[in-house]
Amino acid sequence: MIRVAHVVASFDVGGLQKGVVNIINRSRGCQHLVVSFGPGLAMADRLDHGDVESLGLEPGQRRSLAAALRDVLQRFGADVVHTRNWPTLVDGWRARRRARTASHVHGYHGRDASGARGFGWKRRLIGRALTRSLDAVVTLTPHMAEEYTRDFGAPKRGLHVIENGVELPEVAVSRRTAGDPLQVLAVGRLDPVKDYGSLIRAFARMPGRGVDDRLVIAGDGPEREALAATCDREGVADAVKMPGMLQNTAAVYRDADVFVQSSVYEGMSNTLAEAMAAGLPCVASRVGGNPDVVGGAGVFYESGDDAVLAERLAALRRDPARASALGDAARERAREVFGMDRMVQAYDELYHELAGRS
C-alpha cells in the first residue's frame, strides 16, 4: 500500500485542510499521515482514518523543521510527500531528500493577503530552484496553474489541475419571490484577504435594501472586531450576523438567497463551490480562480468596488427569477466540475504514478 505524507502549516479549520480530509477519507489503496508544522489539529476529528502528527512550531516561531520532518517521514516509510503552499515547501524539500523519500508533489492553493499582488523576487528565485526538482505540482484551477508557472516554472513531470471536490447536498432549495426579505451569505475566515469590510459597505448601501434584509458572514478570525466596527459605522449592526465558525454550514446555505465571494485574492474557494452546489446564485470578485470556479453560472465585479457589488446585489433582489436561474446553473456546474469522487480518483492516480505503482 502506498504511504502518503501530507505536510501542512496547520491542521486547524480551513479550506486547504478540508480538502486534505476529503482526500484521505475517500482514498483507496493509500495509507495517509498528516504532518502539521503547528500545534493546531482541529481538523483531526474529521478524519475517518489516517494519523496526524504535529511538529509543534508555535505561531511566530522561525526555525527549520527539516530534521524533525525527516524523522517522521522515515518512521512512516513515506512513498510520496505532499507539501502544500509556501510555508511547507522549503523544509519539505529538504526533509524529503534527507529521508530519501521516492517522490515529492507540491500543492499550490493560493496566497494570503501579503502575497495577493504577487510574490517578492527572493521567494520567486528560491521557488524556481526548488520547483525544478519536484516531481509534480498540483493547482486547483487553470488560472492558478498559469500563476504558478509564471512565478516558479514547471516541475519534472508537469503541472496537474485537480479541482477540489464538494458535497452535493440533496436540499430543497427555497426560492425567493418578489417582496420577500433578502439574505446575503458569505462563508470563510475573517481575514483581510476576504475583504468582508467591502461586503458590509456594499450591503449597507444596496439600493432598495429592506429593513428585514440580512447579511450573514459565517466564520471566525482576526478581523472580527474590525468588521463589527464597520457594521457600527455603516449603521447595519442589527442587520449583519456573524455566527462564528460552524461545524455544519448546510443550514446557512439553505437559508440564504445570494452568496458573495468578496476576496481580494482567491485560489479555489471551497465555500464558493459549496454555495454553487447548494443552488445559490453567486456574486464573486473577478480575482484568482473565482472565474474558473463560477464560469458562466454567476455574476462578477471588480474586487473592492463596493458600489458595483451593491448594484449586483440590488439587481438580484429586484429579479428573483434571474436569481433562481443563476442558482440552477450554479448547481448544475458544481455537479459537472466539482464531484468528490472525481477529485479523489485524480489524486489516487497521481500518487500511484509518482510511487511507480499501477
Cα 219 from Cα 205, distance rounded (Å): 23
What's the whole-number average pLDDT of the chain? 93
What are the pLDDT digits (tens) for 280-334? 999 999 998 999 999 999 999 999 999 999 999 999 999 999 999 999 999 999 9
Classify strands 159-161 and 136-139 as parallel, antiparallel or unpaired.
Answer: parallel
For residues 14-28, average pLDDT? 91
Residues 6+ apart with CB under 8 A from 290: 261, 263, 266, 269, 272, 284, 300
pLDDT for the residue numbered 36: 97
What are the pLDDT digits (tens) for 94-146? 999 999 999 999 999 987 655 556 678 899 999 999 999 999 999 999 999 99
CA contacts within 13 A on the Cβ side of 308:
12
pLDDT of 7 higher than 60:
yes
CA contacts within 13 A on the Cβ side of 349:
9
* 8 Å CB contact between 355 and 2: yes
pLDDT for the residue numbered 350: 96
pLDDT for the residue numbered 249: 82
* 8 Å CB contact between 292 and 270: no
pLDDT for the residue numbered 250: 84
pLDDT of 173 higher than 80:
no
pLDDT for the residue numbered 116: 58
pLDDT of 358 higher than 70:
no
* 8 Å CB contact between 336 and 165: no
* 8 Å CB contact between 338 and 273: yes
Residues 6+ apart with CB under 8 A from 268: 109, 110, 140, 141, 144, 163, 164, 289, 292, 293
What are the pLDDT digits (tens) for 209-264? 999 999 999 999 999 999 999 999 999 999 999 999 887 788 899 999 999 999 99
- What is the set of domains in the chain, with CATH numbers? 2-165+339-354 (3.40.50.2000), 183-337 (3.40.50.2000)
Q: Where are the alpha helices (DSSP H) in 132-189?
A: 142-152
For residues 156-164, average pLDDT? 91
pLDDT for the residue numbered 171: 59
Strand partners, 84: 107
Provide the pLDDT confidence category of residue 13 given band limits of 50, 70 and 90.
confident
* 8 Å CB contact between 291 and 309: no
Query: Which residue would you say has higher pLDDT here, 151 or 170?
Result: 151
Provide the pLDDT confidence category of residue 183 given band limits of 50, 70 and 90.
very high
pLDDT for the residue numbered 81: 98
pLDDT for the residue numbered 170: 65
pLDDT for the residue numbered 59: 82
Provide the pLDDT confidence category of residue 157 given band limits of 50, 70 and 90.
confident
pLDDT of 54 higher than 80:
yes
What are the pLDDT digits (tens) for 197-211? 999 999 999 999 999
Exposed, middle or buried: residue 115 (CB in 10 Å: 0-12, 13-18, 19+)? middle
